Structure 1
Amino acid sequence: MWYKNLLNSEIDGLEPLLSLFEGEKEFIEHFFKNVLFFKFEDVEKQSRILLESIKDGKQIPVRYTMKTDEYFHYNNDKIVKEKSKISFKNKKDAKTFALNQDYYHNETGIKICFDKDGNYYVRNEIYRYSGHRVSQGSISNVKNYVISHIWAKTENPYFFSSFWNIALIPNHLAFILDKSDGNSEVARKIKIISKAICYHLYNPNKLIGMEIIDEKELVNGLELAKIYIKDNLINYFEKTVTNKKTL
């Protein structure tokens, strides 16, 4: 069985899925053929609006984390920043604090607020640009897809809502990106290739105007990413025909 050396456990729930394919190449191609990426024009437009909002000093949504004292501070003065970190009992307290007090991301210094439920703002962004409702229960017109962040840095305002860091993945495959690199070799490979595809499609460093992605970390996936893109194995999230919103 070709996949045995790709699993790190004698009993692994990935095995029934991998057993449906003739080899690793076929499985990884199946994965990326069925992922929906955002079109470059939407990614570029959204990035431009994000940068304008940051420049205007607006609050940029991020996902709540229990490590608020590690990622955020409430006084942006360099002298006292280290003394202005705070922990919260729960998400509700953190959201209330960020709404009533200027609260900043440590690494970027960007003013932030916490997303309502972890993907509320992302779902609205997807609807705004595409006219599709995803992961919104009964009103969704896109079913059985999961909104997945390619880089897990959802506490970072550049990463959380940006389409260059988001893809729609079918339910039966979405769990793979949530696994740690040590979970299995095939999960590690897919995560690297996913990042390499997004890097090659969108060039986030150019969109943002600074190096937020280290290309050297993606070297093992870039060549395969280029092949998939060249061979038209990548599919894109299309707008609805009736969506006539202007951005």
Structure 2
Amino acid sequence: MLDGYKIFMKKFNISGEQIIEFGINETIFIPKSKANEEWKLLKENVIKGNDRVYVRGYGRDAKGTELYMNLYKELFGHSMFYQDPTNNAEPTKILKRLTGYSRQEKSTIKYNPIRNYQVSHIFGRTKNPFLFTAPWNIVYVPKIMDPFTGHESKGELTEAFQKQFLLHFYQYYQEYIEEYNSIMLKLKPEVEKYLYGREGLIVSQKFKEDTLLQFSPIIC
């Protein structure tokens, strides 16, 4: 089978190991020293409703977002959850503020400009209010790596890159991930009760399956 990626890499004498190393090393992430307070504040906002918590819209044209909003209100007892206006505006703001890099054309006193980087969620689960803006789940990835990170990408190198990429950041942010996993395990009975034991709730099987995935622990 011809693999367009392999043909390109062979043509320019680039190894798979070099691609993987480049993708990980050139990803811009939030250091733990700055992620700690941001994560603590986010947890308090989700649980107590002290301030707005943003999530990504659900379904085609985000028409199913209300299904998740109802779930959040039931789980946490407040309505301080909001759909991100662009589905990436809030994560981008956090990355800009905590890394000092901005996808703008000119440098400023506060920010250094970057170009051809995209905002990416390392572990996904963007309908989970703990993870959409978690400082340890969002990074700037060079756009040239999109062939190895996109959902439509396939092949051995794609699988190898994604596996090592996830493992690298899992190990770096492990203390936060383990705390998140503990929260999810405690929430699991309440999520399942809402989906399968709530009288009068009419939702699709697809929504139930997606919700269980969104509120699942991170395993690497």
TM superposition score normalised by structure 1: 0.60
CA shift in 2, pair 1:185/1:56, >3 Å: same
What is residue 244 of structure 1 aligned with on the other side? Answer: none
Q: Distance in 1 between matches of 2:121 and 2:6?
A: 21
Identity of aligned residues (%): 16
Q: Which amino acid in 2 is paired with 1:189?
A: A
Match of 1:196 among 145, 160, 167: 167
Task: Within 5 Å, give how 1:62-101 maps onto structure 2.
Answer: 62-66=55-59, 90-91=61-62
Q: For residues 113 and 27 of structure 2, what CA distance do their matches in structure 1 show?
A: 17
> What amino acid sits opposite 1:192 in the alignment?
K
Whole-angstrom CA distance in 2 between matches of 1:23 and 1:180: 22
Distance 1:10 1:126, change over 3 A: same
| Cross-structure match for 2:192 | none
Runs of 5+ consecutive residues of structure 1 not aligned to the other structure: 1-8, 68-89, 219-247
Alpha-carbon spacing, 1:65–1:195, altered in 2? closer, same or farther (3 Å): same
Q: Deviations along 1:92-121, whole A, 9 cap, x unmatched? A: x667x69xxx63349x93553210001111
Q: 1:207 to 1:20 in 2, by over 3 A?
A: farther
By percentage of residues, which structure has more helix? 2
Structure of higher RCO (CA pairs closer than 8 Å, 6+ residues apart):
1
How far residue 13 of structure 1 moved from its aligned partner, in angstroms, is 4.9
1:109 aligns with 2:75: yes
Instruction: Give the count of matched residue pairs.
Output: 179
CA shift, 1:14, in A, is 5.8
User: 2:7 — aligned with what?
Assistant: 15
Q: Which moved more, 1:162-171 or 1:116-125?
A: 162-171
The answer to whether residue 73 in structure 2 is matched with residue 118 in structure 1 is: no
Partner of 1:31: 23
Q: Is residue 2:125 matched to residue 1:132?
A: no
**Helix, strand or coil at the partner of 1:118:** coil
For structure 2, which runs of at least 5 residues remain unmatched after alignment?
Answer: 185-215
Query: Does the C-alpha gap of structure 1 residues 43 and 207 become closer, same or farther in structure 2, counting only changes over 3 Å?
Result: farther
Partner SS state of residue 156, structure 1? coil
| Residue 214 to residue 126, structure 1, CA distance change in 2 (3 Å) | closer
For residues 213 and 14 of structure 1, the distance between their equivalents in structure 2, rounded to whole angstroms, comes to 34
Q: Per the alignment, do residues 17 and 59 of structure 1 end up closer, same or farther by CA in structure 2, a change over 3 Å counting?
A: farther
Which of 167, 172, 175 is the aligned partner of 2:144?
Answer: 172
| Pair 22,121 (structure 1): closer, same or farther in 2 beyond 3 Å | closer
Residues 28 and 190 in structure 1, CA contact (< 8 A), matched pair in contact too: yes
Change (3 A) 1:17 1:159: farther
Aligned in 2, Cα 1:137/1:162: closer, same or farther, shift over 3 Å?
Answer: farther
For 1:147, the equivalent position in structure 2 comes to: 119
Q: Which of residues 123, 126, 134 is equivalent to 1:162?
A: 134
- For residue 54 of structure 2, give the secondary structure of its aligned residue in structure 1: strand
Residue 35 of structure 1 deviates from its aligned partner by: 1.7
